Amino acid sequence: MTKDDFWEGVRGGFPIMLAASPFGALFGALAVDNGFTIADAVFMSATVYAGASQMVGIELFGNNVQPWLVVLSVFAVNFRHVLYSASIAKYVRHFTFGQKFLAFFLLVDPQYAETEKRGERGLPISFSWYLGFGLIIYIPWIINTLIGAIFGQMIGDPKAIGLDVLLPVYFMGLVMGFRKRDRFLPIVAVSGLASVAGMHFVGSPWHVSIGALAGIVLAACLPPSNQAPAPAAVEKEA
Amino acid sequence: MDPQHLNLIYLIIAAAVATFLTRVGGYILITQMKEIPPRLEAALNAVPAAVLTTLVAPAFVYGGLDVTIAMFVAFAIALGLNLSTLRMLVIGWVVVMVIRHLAM
């Protein structure tokens, strides 16, 4: 554990912390709006620590979706992390078991991107650097959730201040972040149509699983393309 | 604590465990498996766009005219100018507030 490495990590993570802060506060406000207490919102930010999936979770919870489907959706939205941890495996082999545990817990999109970048440049990836980078994002994320939740509780009608439009636009932004991937347009078109049809004919919350399954099955069935897969590092959560 | 609230706590813990599994899963897999079958990889690649689209499309169709317009404007401007998600949120919010203000 070296101090210099730790503070280098903190400095590197600082701008990302600033960029993520509004989303932490937004999560807090929307969580309270969807029936969470302030403590629930903070608890979720501290334990799940994955912004997009937390938004998905509260949206589905607010719509009284079955619990197993909420957990499955959180799992699905976070599935990209499997690729991240596979990809950075070569850089964190020298961590101890406990360090790996903590490192994977903190493995959010920018943490992955920065670790990958550093590793490619041949810079050492010490646990101190990793921890400094991770904590400067993690701790403010929890504090911002608390601030957002406190403000959220003071707001009466979310429609009156336009809160209801934020989640769909936010998710739209996330979808657009994946537009460089293979078969992006057909997947989005099929999932979109299937989810609207599911909403119309079956009803919420089934439209989520129906739409998602349609896009995933399509992707698996299409003939393999020659295009190299887009690097996940260019995608970011917020 | 009432049972319904306790269920929410369990739900959050389950979501946290599921998330953690995705974050260690790749490390465990890569040390076990030589390569991922291409169709499985294509399916995995499609997961985020497919899941997230199902949260966007119904809101666009059934969210009300003001929400539909706001989403469309935010989408068009963000795509044209290559804006960040945060800027896109601001645009969507401004449009919906203007429409609601004018409609009052």
Q: Which of A121-125, A189-193, A233-237 has the highest mean pLDDT?
A: A189-193
How many angstroms separate the CA of residue B23 from the nearest CA in chain A?
Answer: 5
Q: How far is CA A71 from CA A42, A58, A126, A230, in A?
A: 18, 11, 33, 28
Give pLDDT tens digits for A142-159.
999 999 999 887 776 667
Give pLDDT tens digits for B57-101.
999 999 899 999 999 999 999 999 988 878 898 999 999 999 999
How many angstroms separate the CA of residue A10 from the nearest CA in chain B?
Answer: 22
- Closest residue in chain B to residue A77, using alpha carbons only: B48
What is the percent of chain A where pLDDT is above 70?
91
Provide the pLDDT for residue A227. Answer: 53
How many angstroms separate the CA of residue B3 from the nearest CA in chain A?
Answer: 14
Average predicted confidence (pLDDT) for chain A: 86
Whether omega before B37 lies within 30 degrees of 0, making that bond cis, reads: no
Label residue A135 exposed, middle or buried (CB < 10 Å: 0-12, 13-18, 19+): middle
pLDDT at position A72 over 90: no
Q: How far apart are CA A100 and CA A156, in angstroms?
A: 43
Q: Determine the average pLDDT of the residues in A118-125.
A: 88
- Closest residue in chain A to residue B20, using alpha carbons only: A105
A84–B93 CB contact, under 8 Å? no
B18–A74 CB contact, under 8 Å? yes
Nearest to B48 among A47, A77, A169 (CB): A77
Which structure tokens are listed for A77? 């939205």
* Structure ipTM: 0.80
DSSP designation for A156: S
A212 in contact with B at a CB cutoff of 8 Å? yes
Q: Do A219 and B46 form a contact (C-beta atoms < 8 A)?
A: yes
